[in-house]
A and B are shown apart, each in its own frame.
Chain A
Amino acid sequence: MLAPPPLPASASAPRAGARAAGTWLAAAAVALLALFPVLVARPYPLHMGVVLFLAVLEAAAWNLVGGIAGQYSVGHAVYFGAGAYAAVMLLERLGIAPWWGIWAAALCAVLLGLVVGTITLRLRGPYFVLASIAAAEVARLAVLHFRAFTHGAQGFVVAEPPVLRLPGLSLTFDGKRPFYYLTLALAVLAVAVNRAVLRSRLGYQLLAVREDQDAAHSLGIRLSLVKNQALAISAALTGVAGAVFAGYSRFIDPDTVFSLTDVSVPMVLYCLAGGAGTVEGPVVGALLLVPVSEALRNPRGLVSLGLLPAGSGVVGFVERHLSQAHQLVYGLLLVLIVLFAPEGVAGLLRRLLRRSRARPRPAPPPA
C-alpha cells in the first residue's frame, strides 16, 4: 500500500497505553457479540453475524499474505474451495464428521498452498497476481471436470452434520446459533494470529519483504521460506473458512467456492478497505462492506429488522435489479479506495487522529 503502517517496533510509552486500551475495547466488543444471541433470537441478525465473521476470518487470513507480506494473491479461492471440498467430501464419502473434517480442510489447504506457493511466490508484481488467479482457475476447472470424484458442476448438497458429543455436552449444528459462535471464535482467532505474527520475528521479516524484497534478501531473509510460511498460515485459515461456509450454506459447487469474483476478490477488498497490513484493517473493512453487500443481495433482511417497510418500492427495486449485481458497489468502492484512500479506512482514520493529536503536545518531563 502507499502508506505502510508504522512498524510496531517504534512503540513508545503512550502508544503502548493506547494499544492496551484497544485490546480491552476489542475484548469488550467480543464479549458483547458473544452475549448477542442470548438477547436476540431472530434468525436474520444471527445470519448477518455469521456472514460478517466469515468475512473477517477470510480477510484476516488474506492479510497475512497480502497485507503483511505484500504478496497480492487474487486467487485465495483455491484454498477456500479446497477446504470446502475436503470437509464436504470426507463427510459425504467417508462419513467423517466435520469436527475432524475441518482439520483435514486446513491440512489440504496448507498442502495446496505449498504447491501453489512454490510455483507462484517466486514471481513478483503483476506476474504473481496473474499466476495466483490462474492457479485458482486451474483448480476450479479441474473440479468441474473430474465429475466421478467431485460431482462436477452439480456440486454437493451437504447433509446435516452429526451431533458432536463431548464429555458432558452434546452440540447439534442446526440453526444459526452454533455457527454464530463458531465463526465468531474463528474470526477472533484469525485476528489474534495476525497480531501474533506482526509481533513475531516472522512478522518483521514479512514486513521487510513487503517493503523491499531485494533489501530483505540481502539482509539474509530467506524470501521463499518466509513467504511460504505466511501463505501456509493464511491458507489454513482460508481452508477452515471454506469448510465452515460449506457447513453453513449446506451446498457447494465449483463456481461458488472457487469463484474469483465471489471469493478471491472480496477477501482482498475487505482487507484493503480497512487497511492492509494492520490488525484492525480486516475487521474494519468487513464491517464496512459486508452489510452493504448483504442488504443489496437480500433486502428482505432489512424488512425483517424493521428498517424498511415491507411493501415499499425500494425492496422491489433492489430485488429486481441490484440483487444480482450487488458487486457493482464493490467495484465502485475498489476504484474509490485506490484513488482516494489507498491506505484504507483505518489508515485514513489513523492519519486524521495523528494530525489532531500532533497539535497540542506537552513537553516531555526531563529524564
Chain B
Amino acid sequence: MILFLQSLLSGVLMGGVYALVGIGLTLVFGVMRIVNFAHGELVMLGMYLAWFLFTRLGWDPYLSLVVVAPALFLWGALLQAAVVGRALHALPENQMLLTIGLGLAMSNAAMLAFTADYRILTTSYSSSGLQVLGLSVSEPMLAAFLVAVGVTAGLYLFLLRTDTGRAIRATAQDREAAQLMGIDVRRMSLVAFGLGAALAGTAGALVSPTYYIYPQVGGAFTLKAFVIVVLGGMGSVVGATLGGLLVGVTESLAAVYVASDLKELVVYSLFLLVLVARPSGLLGKARA
C-alpha cells in the first residue's frame, strides 16, 4: 500500500510538469491547428539554458526561469513568424514535416553547441527529500510540481480573464469568425506559439535538476506531449492538464508494477489503445 501511494505521489508530481508540456502543445494546436513536432526540442532548449546559467553564472534553475521563459517565448514567436506561420495553409502532413525538420535542426544545433555528452545539473538539493506521512518526497520534484501548478493557474487566469487570453481562445474556436470580430489572428498565433514555447522551456528548466541533459532528450518529451494532448482531446487546455497527470501516474505505476524500463512502452501502448477505441481522446468531445 505504501509502495502504491509512494508511486502515485511521484507520478502526480511528474504529471504536473508533463501537464505544462502538454498545455504548451495543445495551445499551439488549438490556435493554429498545427501539430508541433518540435515541442520536445523546446523543452530541451529550456534544459540547456538552465544548465548553462547554472554552470556559468551559478543561477539556481528555479531562479533561471525568469530568463528561460521569456527567452523561449521570443524564440517561439520568432519561429512562428519566420517559419511555421508561412506554412499555415500547407497540407497538415507538410506542416508536420516542417516541424519535424525544425526539431531535427534544433537538436542537432544543440549537439553542435554542447556536444552529445550527457550533462548533469547538480544542485545542493538535487537528491534531498522530505518525509510526509511516511512517504518520501523528492524536494526538486515537489518544487517543480508547485511551480508547474502556479504557472498553470496563472495561464488559466490569463486565458479566462484577460482580453488577449479571450482573443486566443476565440481564435482557437473559429479563426475566421475571430478575424471578423477584429481580432488580429496573426498576432494571436505569435502569442500562442510563444506561450507554448515558454511553457515547454519552463518545464525543461523545472526538470533540469533531476534529468540527464542531452541533445536528443526532446524526442521523448514530444511523443509524451502528444500522448497527453490526445488523451485530453486535442486543443483542450483542461484536457491537457488532466492528461499530463494521467501520463505521469501511469508511468510511475508502470515503473513499479511492470518494469522501470517499460514505463514508456506502457504509456505508448495505452495511447495506441485509446486512439483505436476513442480517437477523440479520453476526455475530448466526439469529433465532427
Q: Which residues of A contact B (CB under 8 A)?
A: 1-2, 70, 72, 74, 119-120, 122-123, 125-127, 129-131, 133-135, 137-138, 141-142, 144-145, 260-261, 265, 268, 272, 321-322, 324-328, 330-335, 337-339, 342
In the complex, the chain B residue whose C-beta lies closest to that of A153 is: B261
Residues of chain B lying within 8 A (CB to CB) of residue A129: 35, 93, 96
**How many A-B Cβ pairs are below 8 Å?**
137
Whether the Cβ atoms of B101 and A330 lie closer than 8 Å is yes
Whether the Cβ atoms of B265 and A335 lie closer than 8 Å is no
Whole-angstrom CA separation of A126 from B227 in the bound complex: 12
Whole-angstrom CA separation of A95 from B265 in the bound complex: 31
Interface residues of B in 253-288 (CB under 8 A from A): 259, 261-262, 264-265, 268-269, 271-272, 275-276, 279
Residues of chain B lying within 8 A (CB to CB) of residue A1: 91, 93-94
Q: Answer whether residue B102 sits at the interface, using C-beta atoms and an 8 A cutoff.
A: yes
Whether the Cβ atoms of B112 and A321 lie closer than 8 Å is yes
Whether the Cβ atoms of B264 and A137 lie closer than 8 Å is yes
A–B Cβ pairs within 8 angstroms, 23 of them: A1-B93, A1-B94, A70-B93, A119-B276, A120-B272, A122-B276, A127-B230, A129-B93, A129-B96, A130-B35, A130-B271, A138-B272, A145-B261, A322-B112, A325-B109, A326-B108, A328-B105, A331-B100, A331-B104, A331-B105, A335-B83, A338-B97, A338-B98
Whether the Cβ atoms of A339 and B108 lie closer than 8 Å is no
Residues of chain A lying within 8 A (CB to CB) of residue B74: none
Q: Which residues of B contact A (CB under 8 A)?
A: 35, 83, 86-87, 90-98, 100-109, 111-112, 115-116, 216, 219, 223, 226-227, 230, 234, 259, 261-262, 264-265, 268-269, 271-272, 275-276, 279
Residues of chain A lying within 8 A (CB to CB) of residue B275: 119-120, 123, 127, 130-131
Whether the Cβ atoms of A328 and B98 lie closer than 8 Å is no
Knowing A127-B279, A134-B223, A325-B111 are in contact, say whether A272-B259 is a contact too (CB < 8 A).
Answer: no
Chain B residues touching A, majority SS? helix
Residues of chain B lying within 8 A (CB to CB) of residue A70: 93
Whole-angstrom CA separation of A338 from B265 in the bound complex: 32
Whole-angstrom CA separation of A325 from B105 in the bound complex: 9
Whole-angstrom CA separation of A272 from B96 in the bound complex: 13
In the complex, the chain B residue whose C-beta lies closest to that of A126 is: B35
Knowing A2-B94, A332-B101 are in contact, say whether A338-B108 is a contact too (CB < 8 A).
Answer: no
Residues of chain A lying within 8 A (CB to CB) of residue B103: 331
Q: Could you say which of B100, B234, B261, B272 has the most chain A C-beta atoms within 10 Å of its C-beta?
A: B100
Whether the Cβ atoms of B276 and A74 lie closer than 8 Å is no
Whole-angstrom CA separation of A342 from B91 in the bound complex: 9
Whether the Cβ atoms of B100 and A74 lie closer than 8 Å is yes
Whether the Cβ atoms of A72 and B83 lie closer than 8 Å is no
Residues of chain B lying within 8 A (CB to CB) of residue A332: 101, 105
Chain A residues touching B, majority SS? helix
Q: Could you say which of A265, A324, A335 has the most chain B C-beta atoms within 10 Å of its C-beta?
A: A335
Which of B112, B223, B227, B268 touches A328 (beta carbons < 8 Å)?
Answer: B112
Nearest 5 pairs of A and B residues by beta carbon:
A334-B101, A331-B104, A331-B105, A328-B108, A325-B108
16 extra interface residue pairs, beta carbon distance < 8 Å, beyond A145-B259, A272-B97, A324-B115: A72-B96, A74-B96, A122-B276, A127-B275, A130-B230, A133-B223, A135-B272, A137-B223, A145-B265, A265-B100, A265-B104, A328-B105, A328-B108, A328-B109, A335-B83, A338-B98
Residues of chain B lying within 8 A (CB to CB) of residue A328: 104-105, 108-109, 111-112
Whether the Cβ atoms of B94 and A342 lie closer than 8 Å is yes
Which of B35, B268, B279 touches A137 (beta carbons < 8 Å)?
Answer: B268
Whole-angstrom CA separation of A137 from B97 in the bound complex: 18
Whether the Cβ atoms of A338 and B94 lie closer than 8 Å is yes
Residues of chain B lying within 8 A (CB to CB) of residue A126: 35, 92, 96, 234
Whole-angstrom CA separation of A130 from B281 in the bound complex: 13
In the complex, the chain A residue whose C-beta lies closest to that of B262 is: A145
Whether the Cβ atoms of A335 and B98 lie closer than 8 Å is yes
A325 → chain B closest CB, angstroms: 4
Whether the Cβ atoms of A339 and B96 lie closer than 8 Å is no
Residues of chain A lying within 8 A (CB to CB) of residue B35: 126, 129-130
Residues of chain A lying within 8 A (CB to CB) of residue B98: 334-335, 338-339
Residues of chain A lying within 8 A (CB to CB) of residue B94: 1-2, 338, 342
Whether the Cβ atoms of B90 and A334 lie closer than 8 Å is no
A229 → chain B closest CB, angstroms: 20
Q: Could you say which of A131, A145, A325 has the most chain B C-beta atoms within 10 Å of its C-beta?
A: A325
Whole-angstrom CA separation of A329 from B106 in the bound complex: 11
Knowing A74-B100, A334-B97 are in contact, say whether A123-B279 is a contact too (CB < 8 A).
Answer: yes
Knowing A325-B109, A331-B101 are in contact, say whether A2-B90 is a contact too (CB < 8 A).
Answer: yes
Q: Could you say which of B90, B93, B107, B227 has the most chain A C-beta atoms within 10 Å of its C-beta?
A: B93
In the complex, the chain B residue whose C-beta lies closest to that of A136 is: B268
Whole-angstrom CA separation of A267 from B279 in the bound complex: 27
B96 → chain A closest CB, angstroms: 6
Whole-angstrom CA separation of A327 from B90 in the bound complex: 24
Residues of chain A lying within 8 A (CB to CB) of residue B276: 119, 122-123
Residues of chain A lying within 8 A (CB to CB) of residue B83: 335, 339
Knowing A2-B90, A261-B216 are in contact, say whether A142-B265 is a contact too (CB < 8 A).
Answer: yes
Whole-angstrom CA separation of A322 from B271 in the bound complex: 36
Q: Could you say which of B112, B227, B259, B268 has the most chain A C-beta atoms within 10 Å of its C-beta?
A: B268
Whether the Cβ atoms of B116 and A324 lie closer than 8 Å is yes
Whether the Cβ atoms of B223 and A338 lie closer than 8 Å is no
Residues of chain B lying within 8 A (CB to CB) of residue A342: 90-91, 94
Residues of chain B lying within 8 A (CB to CB) of residue A137: 223, 264-265, 268
Q: Could you say which of A2, A126, A138, A339 has the most chain B C-beta atoms within 10 Å of its C-beta?
A: A126
Which of B86, B111, B219, B227 touches A339 (beta carbons < 8 Å)?
Answer: B86
